Every structure is written in C-alpha cells, then in structure tokens.
A = this chain, B = another copy of it.
Amino acid sequence: MDSVWTNRIAAGAAEMHSSAIRDLLKVTAQPEMISFAGGLPAPELFPVEEIAAAAERALVESPLVTLQYGPTEGFGPLRELLMTWMARLGITVPADQVLVTSGSQQGLDMVGRLLIDPGALVAVEEPTYMGALQAWQTIRPHYLSVPLDDQGLDVDALEALLAAGARPRFLYVVSCFQNPTGVTLAHERRRRLIELASRYTLPIIEDDPYGELYYEGSRTTPLAALDIELHGELRHVVYLGTLSKLLSPGMRVGWIVAPQPLVDRLVMLKQGLDLHTGSMAQVVAYYACRDGLLEQHTPRLRDLYRERRDVMLQALDQTCAGVEGMHWTRPGGGMFLWVRLPAELEAEPLLQQAVAEHVAFVPGRAFHPDGGGGSTMRLNFSHSNPMQIEEGIRRLGGVILASLAL
C-alpha cells in the first residue's frame, strides 16, 4: 500500500476481507451462469407498475417530503404503516419504537455499534448469516456458536452454555427460514428461548426478512411477539424487518423495532451514519404499501417460490439421492436450502469445478465465524426459473458425482 495510507488504517478495518457473496456475485454476473449463489428475489415478480404509480404519486402529491431532508427516525406515515404491519404479528409497539433503516443490513450495523465492544462475546447460530458477520467484522467480537438442527436453534445447547456461565452481549437469530439453512425456529423452542432470555437477561436480535415467505401453514409468531406476550412490553428482543424480499431490495428500506430504552441511542447512531434513509424510497414505499400492496403481493411470491423450491428439491432427489453422506434441508419457506456434502468433499474446490460448468453456489465456510462448514453449501432457489434450476442441479450433481469418483 502507498506510503500515505500505510499505518493509517484503523485496526478493525485492517483485518477486513471481502465476503464470499461479493466475490461470487462477480463471477455469477456472466450471462450463461446458472447462479444459486446470490440471495436475490425473482425480478419477474417485482411490482413495477405499482411502484411506478407510487413514485408518481409521491412526486405529485408530496414532492417536498420526497426530496427534502427528513427525520432520522424515518418518514412518519411509513412508521405508522410498519407499526400496523408489525401489530398483525403480535408485535404491538407504538410507532416511536419503529425506526426506518437503510435495509436490514444497516440494522445489523447499528445493533453491532450499539451493543458490541471489540472482543465482546456474541452468540450466533452455526451456521449464521454472513452479512451479520460482515457488519460486525471491524468491531472484531468473539463468537459463541450455537448449533441448529431442522427445528432451528438448539435451545438446549444454548441453555447449557448459559448455565456454564457464558454471557454473550446478545444472541443473533434469523428466526424464520434461516439464511443460510432454510430452517425455522420451532414454536415451542421460541417459547423456551424467551424464557431463557428472561432468566439470563439475554438480549436477542431477531432478524426476520423471510417470515412472510411461507409455503405451507401460516406465519410463525416472531420472538418479539412472544416477548411482548410474556412481559407486556418489548423487553429482550430487537426485531429487524425489511421490504427487500417483499417489494424491492433496490429501495433499501428496512426497519428496527426496538425496546424503548434503546430508541434514542439508535436514532443518535443513525444520524451519524447517514442522517436518514432516503426520503424518496420511504415515501414511495409508503404510497406503494398503504393501499395493500404487501397483502396482495406476498401470495404471488409464495406461489412462485414454492414451485421453485419444489423443483429444486425434486431435482436434488433425482440427481443426488443416492450419494452417501449427502443431505439437504427441506425448507418450509424462504429462499435457500442448505446442502451437506459427503465429508470427503470440500465445497470451495467444488465451486471452481461448478463454475467451469456454469453453475454457482456459496460455500458454507462463509457462514461460520470460526471456520468449519467446509463440506457444506447454500443454494438459492428464488432467483432462477424452473428450467434453470433443473439444469443447474443436473450440472451440480454431475460435478459432485465426478468429484466422488476421483
């Protein structure tokens, strides 16, 4: 590095490394690539006309609010709308506990800056969302990894760690259709987890971008709602929501529902980060949603993604069912499934071979804060169409079988 900047990089920033998602998305931008790597919504379902109409209304009916600086907390009518959207799920809080963020990625950043000191302990699921690890990487926490299974976080294992004296700053959990595994924390475990949070005064960061994308049954009750049910107020849980998976990720509109004692500090933090989330995006989101777009649109997403999930599972069954030691999750919703490869295969070299066959995925190591997960991979099923999914899994299966034959 040039001498001007040598020794001037802050300690946290000096150790940063690019995320696997980022490097992969570059490769996967090649047009002939079938990519199961990203976490992108299906663009063919973007509600373009509704958003275009909302943008027009925003600029005709509310041009000054749309173009001027706005409050750090977010656009008032959008906060009210999100409050109502949350109340539907049992997360009943006043609008002043709902803060608009620049996507839920910013929520993760804010939570990290508010609650983590360098070297502090943070409990995460193993594997966990790599974007959270990336948000916090300059703070360099230590991680307490809690295993999960097909019912979500192993609450017994967490309890054992707490009983043994572990005192993390908080537990981070993607509660529905987890990224990367696709598993959902079971209702009974949710109740136990809130009881544990009470008993051990354990804060929980509940990240819930996929909860509306259920393909069977109904919406799972968020941890935040159970916390309110038990205590009469939101006490232990910070809930992160986003419009990215429901309307458009390009709008970068997410939100935090925070316990009252954290609200002022979160607002002060955000003021230093970007003053406020884009007014245009917020006002357009408000106009798009206030006449029921979320309610109309999520069933379309569910129908399309359910089909794609089914096609991917069927293709895996056909291609890989006979491979000894290979397993994959069967998610009830969301955008991802998780593959455990035969122990002798490593996902990273496999990716090189897969890319040569024009199919891509994310190797599992990226989702493990302390290494591990070398024989796992994440597959996205929301972005490719059924023909691409069938063909991509056929190619991927071929690469796996060829590697095993060596």
Task: Name A residues whose Cβ lies closer than 8 Å to a Cβ of B.
Answer: 1-5, 8-13, 16-19, 22, 38, 40-41, 43, 46, 48, 51-52, 55-56, 59-60, 63-70, 72, 102-103, 105-106, 109, 113-117, 120, 131, 134-139, 169-170, 201, 203, 235-236, 244, 247-252, 259-262, 264-265, 268-269, 271-281, 284
Question: Can you show 23 pairs from A to B with CB atoms below 8 A apart?
Answer: A2-B260, A5-B259, A16-B269, A18-B268, A40-B68, A46-B64, A48-B67, A51-B59, A52-B59, A67-B248, A69-B244, A69-B249, A102-B102, A102-B252, A105-B273, A106-B274, A131-B272, A134-B271, A136-B272, A250-B278, A250-B280, A252-B275, A273-B273
Given A2-B259, A46-B68, A261-B2, CB of A116 within 8 Å of CB of B10 = yes
Residue of B nearest to A38 (CB): B69
B17, B138, B271: the one contacting A113 at CB < 8 Å is: B138
User: Which chain B positions have C-beta within 8 A of A275?
Assistant: 103, 105, 131, 252
Copies of this chain per assembly = 2
Shortest beta-carbon distance, A136 to chain B, in Å? 8
Given A4-B201, A135-B272, A203-B4, CB of A252 within 8 Å of CB of B278 = yes
Q: Is the CB of B249 within 8 A of A68?
A: yes
Q: Is the CB of A12 within 8 A of B67?
A: no
A271 to B137, CA, bound (A): 11
